[in-house]
Amino acid sequence: MAEILPSLLSADFAHLGEEIARVERGGARMLHLDVMDGHFVDNLTIGPPVVESLRKVTRSYFDCHLMIENPERYVPAFAQAGTNAISVHLEACRHLDHVLRLIRSEGLKAGVVLNPATPVSLLENVLELADYVLLMSVNPGAGGQDFIPYVLDKVRELGEMRHEKKLALAIEIDGGVHRDNLAEVVRAGCDWIVTGSAIFHSADPEATVREMREIADSALVVRV
Ligand code: DX5
Ligand code: ZN
């Protein structure tokens, strides 16, 4: 079953605890936390102290998406703060093999992120070192952008690589996903689906999560 991961980037930062409680009431069990450093992307967001505070108010699974330069410097701090998973951009890593091993050595799930224009073929030799691959379906740095359709071809290609290599890898997608394109995203083969503005800018985030979970569930049901 595909999981819906609300991205806190579009939540009200003055009330993060309550925002989390709302989406959890809607059934969310995994949360996506966007970390930006003003260098790899223009925007600035949160760091380990915020993750540490949020860890105290929820037991949900934390997926930290690091959009930062030199991510290896910060892996231990995010692990200490209580995240469950860390993903790093291939485009930001000079030593991707090393960084993925470092994340796993902290006892966390390790993810690699690819920008829309980066081909999945670049992962050929490191897939075994990753627990999940995040395919960006917008250019990183901001919420509320339009979904880039060719990324679904990348999802299918990665699905084939996973099948050929017999790997238990999760495929995650991030950016521009909303109610209307969700079923297509699930059918392409995504397991973890990040969505920010579609949830937190909706009138009722709790109901939106519930509804998106239902759409994701029924997308793979074959009707006869
Ligand atoms: C963008 C972030 C996303 C963002 C997605 O750089 O990585 O996680 O929150 O937001 P939406 O769902 O609004 O495109
Ligand atoms: Zn993200």
**What is the CATH number for 188?**
3.20.20.70
Domain assignment present for 158:
yes
Query: Apex CA 20: angle with CA 14 and CA 22, to 5°?
Result: 105
Q: Catalytic residue, from 63, 131, 174, 191: name it.
A: 174
Does 34 participate in catalysis according to the annotation?
yes
Q: Catalytic residue, from 12, 34, 180, 217: name it.
A: 34
Domain assignment present for 224:
no
Range of the domain at 118: 3-219
Domain assignment present for 121:
yes
Whether the CB of 138 sits within 6 Å of ligand 1:
yes
pLDDT digit string (tens) for the chain, length 224 residues: 899 999 999 999 999 999 999 999 999 999 999 999 999 999 999 999 999 999 999 999 999 999 999 999 999 999 999 999 999 999 999 999 999 999 999 999 999 999 999 999 999 999 999 999 999 999 999 999 999 999 999 999 999 999 999 999 999 999 999 999 999 999 999 999 999 999 999 999 999 999 999 999 999 887 66
Domain assignment present for 133:
yes
Index of the ligand 1 atom closest to the CA of residue 199? 12
Q: How many CA atoms lie within 13 A of 97 on its CB side?
A: 4
Task: Count up the domains in the chain and report the number.
Answer: 1
pTM for the full model? Answer: 0.98
Domain assignment present for 167:
yes
